[in-house]
Structure 1
Amino acid sequence: MEDELNPTSAFEKDPFKLTAEDVYDMSYVIGRDLFKLSSSEDSRTVSELQYKVIRVLEIFELLVDRQNLTVEKLKIERDNLRKETERLHSELQKATSDSEKPQKNGTDKLVIDVNDPNRPRFTLQELTDVLQERNKLKAQLLVAQEELECYKSGLIPTKEPQSLEKVSGANRESEQTTVKKLFSLKHRKNH
């Protein structure tokens, strides 16, 4: 603390850590000493020396200010470079994790490894068609199972085989009648 209050302490500081205030302190000390000299000895010589010293101190002040500004600029640039490095590092990590996923090639194109056992093999339309066909076949199977149960239980007498044209047209009617018979049978059992 005492060194900060004493203007002569600026002379003992590291030159790279000097501030503008330190230069002002040095100017004060030199000016005070020159004033003492000018009053006691040849004032003309001291006066000329005083102007030269003042000019050197002004230059010194400018250099210290420039050095301090350069240090501040370098600190700001360092901070910006750190942020940029962190951003690039996170982008690299994201790109690395994305490279493990299937890559898009152009607009709406997907690059797929042919050797990948989990790769998609069908289009969405093909899968939709297969699912619809499966549901239709399931419904037909349920109808056939219901009819079989009705034949086994004797609700429907066995008929002679009819031509396929009559069967397909009558199939809907038989579905409705089979369902009605089953519900009526179930209804009778409950009463």
Structure 2
Amino acid sequence: MDEAVRSKKPKKMTEKRLQNIALYYCQHYVVSRGKLEDYLRNRVYREVKEDLLRKTMLDYIGTVVSTMEEFGYVNDKEAASAKLRGALRAGYSLDRSLYLARKKSMVAICVVEGELDAALENTLGIGDVDEIKNAGGDAKMALAALQKANRGPFRMGRVDDKTKRQDFAWLQRRGYRLEDIKTAMRMED
């Protein structure tokens, strides 16, 4: 029985199979045009060994992506918004959230910035988005991230120098500036 499973030949890559792979991927994930192209390109390189067939399939990827976009399965704005909301929920700063959303969704930065207001309202429940974008907004976001993660002044257990350093480093890894971290952690110079 094990030999039958091991000797199973991989399916040949055809245009129809490439379309089915793209459709399955689009139905399970919110994808952008760039992300779908990258995923299909990786699948072709991984599964197709013959150079001529690989070139043919790589040329066909653009057609498949256009078809998926035409039917509404590919949406750059929604993909950027989803990644941006995820980064904001994870406690990242505005700049780091924009960077991560652009990188993960593979869309232009202007598309991600266009979704920023809606993402801030939906994720953080902030009515006045301009307040966060202005000076001092990152400190408020850092404080909210600390509260959500039960860190910094919101830590339940023992607070000592070691935990303060850990929380300080945690905020630094999320892209906050030194002044904003000190304000959020209620530290003096």
Identify which of structures 1 and 2 has the higher relative contact order when contacts are C-alpha pairs closer than 8 Å and 6+ apart: 2
Greater fraction helix: 1
What range describes the TM-score normalised by the shorter chain of this pair? under 0.3
Q: TM-score, normalised by structure 1?
A: 0.19
* Larger Rg belongs to: 1
Q: TM-score, normalised by structure 2?
A: 0.20
